Structure 1
């Protein structure tokens, strides 16, 4: 089998742990240019390899071999990998792989980078890293210490294309970015994926691409999932589409069938209930018909009433017309007599107008006389005012003569005062004295403020000291208690945790349930001998966890303790426990079983504390799953424990952790051991006397300091009292000085005002003298004004007398007119009395007409109202023909009799179930709707049934044919190793339950059994898995397949059988030009000659 060349490299690639790196100059390799290869060196060769050895065979200890003699370009299927080149990828710095067209095996020890080639193929073809089951980010595949990695994959071209497809990707560590090229041109990832899909490559199909970390996933595929993957790998694409369509159609079919059954059951129930109501409904329908007739008759009342009103209206109209004609005839017959009365009434009216006019003239004359009388009165008042003014002038003159002497005496007194000048007033001197005293007062006030501030500061210090004394007393009391010892220990370990616990203690009313402090405080070791063992299980943070029992309490703790706006603590852990200890505890063995294995019990059995805290520790520390014992184990006990369900235990002074790899078999285990330290926390040691002594000394110093502050505060208080007295004395002196200053200032002001007062008094004297000199002139003027008013009064009196005479004349004229009015009224009354019979008859006829006309209007209005009501009823459009056929001679009494007759019928039909009719009609609507729904659903169901039948007729034969081919190849593979196997299809009504059934037999005395994880060993399942994949080869629709470490869990015999069978199959496929297969094989102990000698050809 020709070698799978690793390319021309100048130096050996370093081990993954090595930091020795050098420059590589890889030369492009084409499978068409490859010549005969040398045999590869194995791990048994000397570690010192030559460049020639490296150029042809070995890279990181991996033996790369290709079964076959080499092929021309036609040996590769379109899409097959002809070359893989990597740079700075995982463990590789520079490497080129040139696989052959058929079976390619990569053999080497674990850790030499075999799976890295698989990763390069997956990532280089544009698939996600999740298909590898390893790192989630592409940047994690970049070689350590490098910024970029490059993968270049060359795929065999299609016959119609001129050159192979070269896909290149560059991965940048920073930002986890990728860049793609196809044949040297930069393209988006989508273009790469389209090219790969077009070549039939399915890296995401475990039947075609099976990485090492997903071998167990493929082995664990459910039969249903295996059928899906098999169709993806070996069947035409439309078969998977048909299967999916059948699944959807079956789901739709089941849904429709369920709906139809439900609807039919509902329909039967509804129809049965409908029949039960039919008797009540018929009675109710008859009752409803009578009620409708009654309603129709009652609605006819306005029409009958209108006919009655109309007849009455016509009668009233005729009566009003006759009454009007009668009035007209009487008025024509008695016209002369009425005219004479009218003439007299006209004369009476004219006389009445004359009386009113003369009365008006009299009123005007009286108003004019009143006006003149008012003017005479005003003149008389003016004369009296002038006489009073003259009297006032005489009295004033007499008074002024008396004041002359008083003013002259006052002027003499003021002049005498002016000669006696008082002492001069010195304002600045007085102000200086006052300011001096005020300055003293301000100095005292400043000193008062200083002393007050000093005392207040001292008092604040005293309060602080007193608070610290109380705090230290409480700390000392707490330190003397066991709880205090624990809190003191907690504070020494984590001040944040101690602060958090103090806050919780002070705010318990804020929580829904109890919140528990750190296990360091809440828990204890039941037996001190186990303190070392138990503490070895804990990390430091596990001792500091605060436990809440509800999510709401957890949110409060998170906000108050960790929130940026509150305590902002850092060194604390918060956890929530919602399940009880019984629900959480999950110990794999009983205590008795542990003791039989040489251990004392589970760690949980030796810790005492609140149930919620213990539940939290079961989840965080696994107290319920870690076994402990004080004594060391012997070898048999240790071996028994490593084979049991116990994965962690502490025995004596050692801590053991067992790791198991189930994929490598039950014996694949590794154990980590570490020594345990002495307990630091749950030791039960006495209180630290040094802490207590420090507290007591601090408390003593605080108390002494407080006494000193108290004495100083008393002294400052006495000083304030003295300063207050001094300030009061100075304020009194300032008050006296200001009073004396004001008095002196007042005396000086009065003396300075004397010249002005004398001058003003002299001016008053001269003014009075001037008034006296004008006295006679004013008296003459008053007399002249009085004479003028007397003359005016006399003239007005003469005119007033003439007006009085005019009033007398107007009054006589008014009396004459009034006499004539009385005569005219008498004549009118006489004529009216003579024609009273005529007037009475006319009045009676007019009243008769008014009554007839009023009745006519009222009847007309009522008829119109009823008529409008009838129009409204007809506008509704119901029973119009019936209303038009109502007998016009029908009376209201007859209509009421018809209504009463129908009501009597209604009384004989009782309303037993009033809601029956409504219920019947509602249910009937539902029945009709449900019947239509069922009909539609049955039609749809028939359509779905037909679609399923048509699609199944196309899909099922193809699937049976495919599985038969796989089963034949699978059975043949098993026959070649002396075993038996077959593949079938489990068929079900539900197409999503169709599945692959693999049955195998590895022993002579066995029958074919279902392949699962319970009946077969891991190695047998691995053999079955690889044979199933090999059975797919002849049906493959992919240009290549990759299987990484399919031999996981196989024993050497199975490895050898599978290897030989793979070589045989590859030989046959190589001759037929079938799919390329790449297998990663970690078995270092396999002889290379066995690999090489098994090559075909």
Structure 2
């Protein structure tokens, strides 16, 4: 087979052939590559032990002889399955015929009962037809009774209408009297309301006149008091005027200082120009100092960034190949306000891990690419982040709904030397751990105790089923599933390298340069601040001098201003006092008092009139209240009489209306009964017309039936109430009852019993014909199967006995016990089994080989001894066993190797190839054993010599491989 560029082709004797041709050639040679009894890889030893006993029998049949046993066994299984449906069909037909025989036998009695029952039912139907005419007579009587009831209701309605007419005239008179009394009461009520309004109005007039009298009296008292105090008030005003004139005379006018003030203003202006120049210079120095401060803060921030762990890790990622990571991170931080949720990262900066070994494991497991990735926490941010990832060539992971639960290291894992799962070896937010578990499977990666021995490490890697990767300080172990089965795994190992990203720092040279720049800027700022301090002192002195000039100029103008302000204030006060004194002298309070007393007399007169008017209104109000009460009582009496008469009238009217409703209902009932009676007559005439023959037999009764089972006194013929139809009605009912009871006593399944009887007879005859045909076919095929079975067993049992003898001998040679048994399952050929029984310890019983019960070494020993037992029986040209000795202890390995070489060295035995990476020292080899080492051995030199000769022949004069 040649294979290159992902494809391959098969060659036989140098000619290309197809896969089917290759398979055919292999089959001719007796090679069975899929048979574990001929080709057993190391990772399929467990699969061999897990073979079902039925599968082991099939594989053994394939491996021994020429494969005819397997073909015969397979034919028996398929043939038995093929006739299974035929057997079930024949059995079903036989059961069905037996059931039909019983059903037909039972139905013969049912048919006889059915005919007898039909005769009785015909008699029942005849008497029921007579009952139709009797029912018609009953309905006609009911209809006549309804007509009589309707006439009675009509008479009652007429009487009620006459009674209602007698009560209507006095009711109308009472209604007119009630309306008249209401009108009289309404007039009296209006008069009472008007009187009450007038009463309220007059009362308000009394209150108003009393208020005017009180107010005027207060004014008179006030004026009399003012008249008594007028002289004192005039003297007080005159003294106040004299005091103000004395103060005006005592004011002294200040001298003129305008020339001195002008000179002071010129000096102030000159000094102000000096202060302005100092302020300008101060602002320039202050701005320069601020610039130095901003520059210093920027440099210190950069230094802090160099010294921070996050910045160090960004620099480490940059040196690891992510050249734009720092610029990309700065751009992302500026975009944070555009996202719905913060975008975090890189992942390397989000992990806090202090353990050196754990750092190595994390860097090896996660990888540099994902350590530089960022994490989004909202699906809506993905589109915005795509442009950023393309621009800076970085990676982003979306985790919109991250859920993470801290794992637990149980006691079983601790006993195997496991200290952590890898997601427990660092601190980070839940979203970061969820992302790393999702991408890098940290939750199924385990950390083994650094102090654990190699045996403990191997045991942990083998027995922790859910683990894929395991770390120790020096080695990483990876479990790989075999392609032959999920339960078979192999383990690879690789060295664990030191972490370069978690421990990397910034450049020392860059940090020293940055510190030197900071020192230069600090010195420049200190010099600037010192000069600024001196300038501030000069500026403070200048401003103090300028304030002194300002205060002096202000004081020069304030003396004149105070003089003028005092003079104006005194003049204003003097004028106000003089005007008040003039008004006080011109007042005549005596005349005002006389005028107020005259007004008082008028108010007293008005108050007396208002009081008398109020008394008259109160009297009129009482009279109106009495009239209104009398009218109300009369109206109530008229209303009570009207209600009494109206209740009588309404009661009679309602009774009449109720009877009219009953009259309508009775009319409807009468019409309905008439229609029912007509329908009953029509039905009787259609189903049982009274011809002459039927009239003669209408009153006839069977002699065996009593027509009057419950005799009661009945009117004789010619007496009132006598009815011929009613006379025979009990007899008809008794006939119907008697014949129906007799028919019901005859048990009959259903009305289709005759048709069902005929159908079952036809089905039974048809099934008998089919059973005769298919039963013969079944018997013939069963005879063939039995013949084949005996031939198969005659060949199989001796071979199994031979295998059992070999297996017992091989097991006894290693000090253990073993047997091979053939389990007979009768005609269930797919359930025949070949069972391997083993016993490795004296204290245990013989039991079937089980992959869950035996250890790996015991499974390997049992498997190899069974294969050796097949050695002399197989027809294959060679057999291959791969690394079967890897799970054995040295003692068993030597015993097994000895049995294998002995079995394979016999002249009739098939060749056996044992592939293994190592063997024990000092093993015994027979002369028929050959040891082949890949790319080594005495034939290598010969092959190299022939290769050089071929090169010289194909390329004369060309270079020769050294």
TM-score, with normalisation over the residues of structure 2? 0.38
Bigger share in helix: 2
Larger relative contact order (Cα-Cα within 8 Å, sequence gap ≥ 6): 2
